[in-house]
Amino acid sequence: MIKLAPYLAYAKKCFLGRSAYRFDHLMNILSTCLQIFIFWGIYHALYGENTEVDGITLPMVATNFVLSMGLGAVFSTNDYFFPDKIHDGSIATELLRPISVPGRMIAENAGNALFNLIFRFTPALVLSILIIGISAPAGVGMFILFLISVLLGYGVLWAISFSVQMTAFWFVNVWSITTIKNVFINVLSGSMIPLWFMPGWMKGVLYLTPFSSIYFTPVQIYLGQLTYQEIALKCAVQGMWIILIYLAGDFLWKKGQKKLVVQGG
Amino acid sequence: MDFIEVKNVSKVFRINRRKSGVTGMLANLFVPKYEKKEAVKNLNFSIGQGEMVGFIGPNGAGKSTTIKMLSGILFPESGEITVGGFIPYKQRKTYVGSIGVVFGQKSQLQWDLPVIDSFELLKAIYRVPEGVYKKNLDRYTGMLDMGGFLNQPVRQLSLGQRMRADIVAALLHSPKIVFFDEPTIGVDVVGKETIRNFIRDLNRQDHVTMIFTTHDMQDIEKTCDRLIIIDKGSKVYDGTLPGIRERYGTTRQLDVEFVEHKEVAPIPKVEIIELDNNKKRFVFESHEVHINELMDHLLSHYNIRDINISEPEIESIIRKIYSGEYL
């Protein structure tokens, strides 16, 4: 039986710790809004007089940016949580706690995500709705399914970050591989270029990668572009990615512990 | 079977050997060379419940590596470790709930938070019942005189204060075994004394099993009944502190002050060292030369004003063991 109290304590500590730096916090809201407005501005100019391109209207594009970039701000995980601990040797202290290290990472990130959702996403969303406006969800049912899919999307993103962090056992310095991972996520998840505008063959390929299931699947559900059957399938795919990627990360975690070197005496 | 059993344990690290300078860096980039370093070689010992064992050795002898294997952080390369029926590295999550570890060089406290907040977090992590937590906290902070800084952020504490806070942090969940890895490092004389007394009292009163690594022999003399010395990853001594004097400390020195300056005729198996003009030092092995006979000989042949016998300091014996003089 997994006892949750210790993990909740970590999540709470993380949530409370985040409020310590107020200036940084305000800047984060601003940076999320700027990102959304800049991309909306570019697409606004590209659309010009057209009301739709390939059946995609500008409000749909705006919705995609607000949701995927806003959620990106919520989901932002500390990719260096674990590598830092390997680097300075404090992994030793982590291993002395009677809890699961991946579980502790989930707890910290969840505390963080909750903070971001309330204090970063919500203000950015309100500002975006006031300034550029987004489409309403395609019904109450779809909105609930959208929320479920958002959670699954977060799971996929977290699992990717977790697995990449575990490579620190071997590489110690994982800045480059983390950067590559983030570029892949930014470009291929549809948060910068909506996947609607990708060439047909590429769309086909991207639908086979985990990236499209992070933000794009929830956005499609929100906009009512998918039938219930398609939603069930896409959510199952999200679940499958979580399991596969997590298992890969867990494999690295178990293997890494055997060759762990605690740095610094 | 004893409480802690270590059988034929070895641990090997792969170390990147890199030549210095730019050429060395380039060579390493394309053809990295690794060297195997045996941090721990075929180590064996066992420790009973409630024992207090000093674990010493020179830098790089494998002390910390052994402690980390005992506490479930590192996997041994080969051999077996059991502690209180657990295999530490295989059952880490359950096992570490029953142990406490203090790393003198690594704080386990939250850097930005007041000490008490770190304690509260540990209480949640270890699921310590409120009553036990309160009792332990009051008792240990009282014993270590910590009331004054419980509400200060860890980053503002002095090293001695931080060390005491770290010790309490490792004990809040009433562990049955505590590993101290250099708990007095960098602490002043008064602080060291407080920590030593605390550790000894805890061992005597609660029968907590303890392993204590340090470079300060006084730590050992004042706390431990038993001593394990390791060097280059292997055990070189395992026994009591007086035992080490019996085994290695057989050298005696006799400082004699004569009434007048006089040449002393050579005595077999005794080294004579000239000190001041009227003082001489006689160095000998206690099992080779009988002290009574030597004294008789000196007293009957010379006019003597003062005599002083001394045993070697434990510190100097240890120094000789480290430098390989006894091997």
Note whether residue B198 is domain-resident. yes
Which ranges constitute the DSSP H helices of chain A? 5-18, 22-47, 58-75, 81-88, 91-95, 101-116, 122-131, 140-166, 168-171, 175-188, 200-207, 216-222, 228-258
User: Best mutation site among A13, A21, A84, A96 for testing chain B: the one with the most B CBs within 10 Å?
Assistant: A96
Global pTM value: 0.82
B215, B239: one domain: yes
B230, B258: one domain: no
B191, B266: one domain: no
Q: What is the pLDDT of residues B206-233, one digit of tens each?
A: 999 999 999 888 888 889 989 999 998 9
Note whether residue B38 is domain-resident. yes
| pLDDT score of A96 | 92
End-to-end CA distance of chain B: 31
Q: What is the pLDDT of residues B70-108, one digit of tens each?
A: 999 999 999 999 999 999 999 999 999 999 999 988 888
Which residues neighbour A108 within 8 Å (Cβ) at sequence distance 6 or greater?
A: A10, A11, A14, A78, A81
Note whether residue B322 is domain-resident. no
Residue B43 CA to residue B66 CA, distance in Å, equals 9
More confident residue, A113 or B250: A113
Contact (CB<8Å) A93/B103:
yes
CATH number of the domain within which B287 lies: 3.30.70
Note whether residue B157 is domain-resident. yes
Note whether residue B319 is domain-resident. no
Q: Two tokens at A170? A: 């071997």
> Is the confidence at residue B18, as pLDDT, over 80?
no
B215, B261: one domain: no
Contact (CB<8Å) B121/A13:
yes
Per-chain mean pLDDT for chain B: 89
**Interface residues on B facing A, Cβ-Cβ cutoff 8 A:** 13, 64, 68, 71-75, 89, 92-97, 99, 101, 103, 105-106, 108, 110, 112, 121, 124-127
Does the ipTM surpass 0.95? no
Measured between CA atoms, the residue of chain A closest to residue B88 is A96
B275, B189: one domain: no
> Is the confidence at residue B123, as pLDDT, over 90?
yes
Note whether residue B321 is domain-resident. no
> Is the confidence at residue B244, as pLDDT, over 90?
no
B239, B255: one domain: no
B253 pLDDT tier (thresholds 50, 70, 90): confident
| pLDDT score of A263 | 65
Q: Two tokens at A75? A: 């989901």
Note whether residue B316 is domain-resident. no
Interfacial A residues in 219-258 facing B (CB < 8 Å): 257-258
Note whether residue B324 is domain-resident. no
Which ranges constitute the DSSP H helices of B172-312? 189-206, 217-223, 241-247, 291-301
Measured between CA atoms, the residue of chain A closest to residue B95 is A98
Domain ranges of chain A: 7-258
Amino acid letter at A173?
A: N
Q: What is the pLDDT of residues B49-62, one digit of tens each?
A: 999 999 999 888 88
Q: Which residues from B are below 8 Å from A99, CB to CB? A: 93, 125
B326 pLDDT tier (thresholds 50, 70, 90): low
Measured between CA atoms, the residue of chain B closest to residue A6 is B125
B80, B30: one domain: yes
User: Residue B210: what are its φ and ψ, rounded to 5°?
Assistant: -135, 140
* Cβ(A174)–Cβ(A83) below 8 Å: yes
User: Domain range holding B211?
Assistant: 4-245
- How many domains does one find in chain B? 2
Q: What is the largest CA-CA distance in chain A?
A: 66
CATH number of the domain within which B95 lies: 3.40.50.300
Which ranges of chain A have pLDDT less than 50? 1
Measured between CA atoms, the residue of chain B closest to residue A12 is B121
Residue A169 CA to residue A252 CA, distance in Å, equals 8
